[in-house]
Every structure is written in structure tokens, then in C-alpha cells.
Amino acid sequence: MTDKLRIATRKSQLALWQAEHVSALLREKHPSLAIKLVPLLTQGDRIQDRSLAAIGGKGLFIKELEVAIEDLRADIAVHSMKDVPAELPPGLVIAAVLKRADPRDALITRSGAQRLEDLPRNACVGTSSLRRQAQIRALRPDLRIEALRGNVDTRLRKLEAGGMDAIILACAGLIRLGLESRITARLDPLVCLPAVTQGVIGIESRANDARTLDLLRPLEDPDTRKVMLAERAFAARLGGSCQSPIAAYATLEGGRIRIDGLVAEPDGSRLLRDSSSGSAENPAALGRQLAERMLAAGAGPLLERLRAG
């Protein structure tokens, strides 16, 4: 009997690319495996006229996929890990993570300006990310920020229509869609610290599904898992949400992890930034340790006020 696997995925171009990419990797490892995509429309995809903060957060992009796994309509779901909340539903796990792609943010300009610093005074920049907004405004308080929702193609068309001077997207998504040539500049993490787990693809499954866990095991990248655990633990301890401009970026070298973290006022008037490094044996502890330091430095009241607001 042919072995089968069903993959729940969003219907967006990027989500389908990610699901097809995982399918190809699985077929390479398991040639007899028959794979079927189960495309689903999520609440986050349905609502395009409001910010994520206003409609309840990034988890709205994956809830329907998780329900499909729980209801046995799918075996796995493929996610951009930056869309995955800190707490998973009981009985579900991130069974495998792929090797991380470029985690940086991409600046795309109409004028050809190569840096944020080169944009004209009072230029309009499109992004719906409070994390990006805060860091851009800290660097260039004069810039006007305009909300930007929709898939990658939609966002690029909005830039081309002329209402904005520049937009900021994730490098990883543009590269995966074959649009790397559209990137004007890759923003250094010192300028714009990436979102937690940006560039990481994760595969979610039922924790008790031993057969599926075995199929996924060859896809796991241990180094990416370590930096992901550090970044997610940092955000979880801070209670990060779409209403909270939180960023973190961890790197692994020689058995040690360095994690940089940031908490900011959305208007860029205050950026709290710190870093920590230590053994890669317990990445989550390192992320929590950095979060505790930032809470002690004043991040707690800032985040509490943003959540209340």
C-alpha cells in the first residue's frame, strides 16, 4: 500500500511554495510517499483591511490549519514560524524545522535609493509591522508610515502604483518566490532587527503520530532549531504579540549562541536593546535570560501599556 501524507497549507502564493518545497524534500527522502496538499483559507487571509493587531494577532494565519490536523483532515501543516504563537495547542508539536533562510528585512524602493537614510525627507514607507515601524521611525522620524497588507505580489503592486516611496518585506519570502532581484537593500540587523524566527519554516504535526514524526525527522536542521528556541523563548517570556514591537535574532557559532533582542515604542521614541551569549546546550534558557534583563531595564511597563491600549 502506498504511504500517504496530507499537508494543510494556506492558499497564498508563498504558503503554497513552502508546502510544495516541503513536499519535494519529503519525496526526496521517501520516494514512495504520496503527498496531497490541503489548501485552506484562514481568518487572517479573509481580513485584509485591518492590521493584525486590530484583528487578534498572527495566530489567525494558522488556526484553521491546526484544526485540520486535530480533526485528522491533515497530517502536517507548514508554517512561517514567525506566524506561530508561543503556545501551541495541546497535542501538537513543531516536529521539524528547515534550515533558516536569510532572516533580514528587505528594503524595496521606487527611486533606487539604496538605504533608508537615502530616502527623501517625508517619504512614505509601507509596512504593517509595528516592529519595523518602530525601528524605521527611530532612524528616520520624518518618514511617513502607511499600512501595507496582502500577499507579496499585492504589496509590490502597491509600491509600483506610486502611492509609496518604499516598502519593507522579508528577504526570505522574496527569495523563495524568485523575486530576489526586487530587493534594493538587505537591512543590517543593527538597523532593523528581524522578527522572531523570520526566515524559518516549521512543520507542525500531532505529537502522538509516530509514523509522521518518523517521516519528518530527516528534514530537521538542528542548528536552526537551537536559534529558534532561543528567539521564541525570548518572545514568550515578554508576552510578545502583534501589539508589541518585539524583535530577536540569534546566531550560532562554535557551540555558542548570541541573541540580540529589542522592545520598542511603536513611534520609535524609545528602543530597548540588549544581547546575551552562552552555551547552545540550553537555547531557551538563554532567550529567557535576555528577556528577564530587558524586563528589568523597563520593558515590562512599556509592553503592559501597549497590551492595555
Q: What is the 3-state secondary structure (H, E, C) of the chain?
A: CCCEEEEEEECCHHHHHHHHHHHHHHHHHCCCCEEEEEEECCHHHHCCCCCHHHHCCHHHHCHHHHHHHHCCCCCEEEEEHHHCCCCCCCCEEEEEECCCCCCCEEEEECCCCCCHHHCCCCCEEECCCHHHHHHHHHHCCCCEEECCCCCHHHHHHHHHCCCCCEEEEEHHHHHHCCCHHHCCEECCCCCCCCCCCCCCEEEEEECCCHHHHHHHHHHCCHHHHHHHHHHHHHHHHHCCCCCCCEEEEEEEECCEEEEEEEEECCCCCCEEEEEEEEECCCHHHHHHHHHHHHHHHHHHHHHHHHHHC
The amino acid at 149:
R
Distances (CA, A) of 31 to 162, 199, 209, 212, 253: 48, 27, 20, 15, 34
Nearest CA-CA partner of 182 in 145, 155, 148: 155
| Comparison of pLDDT for 205 and 83, the residue scoring more | 205
Domain range for 300: 234-308
- On the question of pLDDT at 55 being above 50, the answer is no
**Both 85 and 139 in a single domain?**
no
Residue 141 has pLDDT above 60, yes or no: yes
Domain assignment of residue 256, yes or no? yes
Residue 264 lies in a domain: yes
**Does 91 lie in the same domain as 9?**
yes
166, 304: one domain: no
The tally of domains found in the chain comes to 3
Asked if the structure places residue 288 within a domain, the reply is: yes
User: For residue 48, what pLDDT is reported?
Assistant: 52
Q: How many CA atoms lie within 13 A of 40 on its CB side?
A: 25
pLDDT of residue 128: 87
Contact 9, 15 (CB under 8 A): yes
Per-chain mean pLDDT for the chain: 91
The pLDDT score that the predictor gives to residue 43 is 64
Q: Is residue 227 part of a domain?
A: no
Going by C-alpha positions, the residue among 169, 200, 260 that lies closest to residue 80 is: 200
**135, part of any domain:** yes
Residues known to be catalytic: 83
Q: Would you state the cell numbers that stand for residue 119, as one nine-digit string?
A: 530616502
Same domain, 181 and 259: no
Q: CATH number, domain at 30?
A: 3.40.190.10
Q: Is 173 within 8 Å of 180 (Cβ atoms)? A: no
15 and 84 part of one domain = yes
Q: Is the pLDDT confidence value at 59 over 90?
A: no
d(CA 191, CA 135): 7
Give me the mean pLDDT over the 131-153 stretch: 93
Among the candidates 130, 161, 186, a domain finishes at 186
CA angle 223, 136, 230 (to 5 degrees): 20
Please state, in angstroms and rounded to a whole number, the distance separating the CA atoms of residues 309 and 252: 36
Q: How confident is the model at residue 133 (pLDDT cuts 50, 70, 90)?
A: very high
pLDDT value of position 242: 55
Taking Cα atoms as reference points, which of 200, 205, 229 lies closest to residue 215? 205
Q: Model-level pTM?
A: 0.92
Assess whether 168 and 86 both reside in one domain: no
pLDDT tens-digit readout, 262-301: 999 999 999 999 999 999 999 999 999 999 999 999 998 8
Are residues 112 and 40 part of one domain?
Answer: no
pLDDT at 61: 74
Residue 57 pLDDT exceeds 60: no
Q: Residue 2: pLDDT above 90?
A: no
Q: For position 1, what pLDDT does the model report?
A: 37
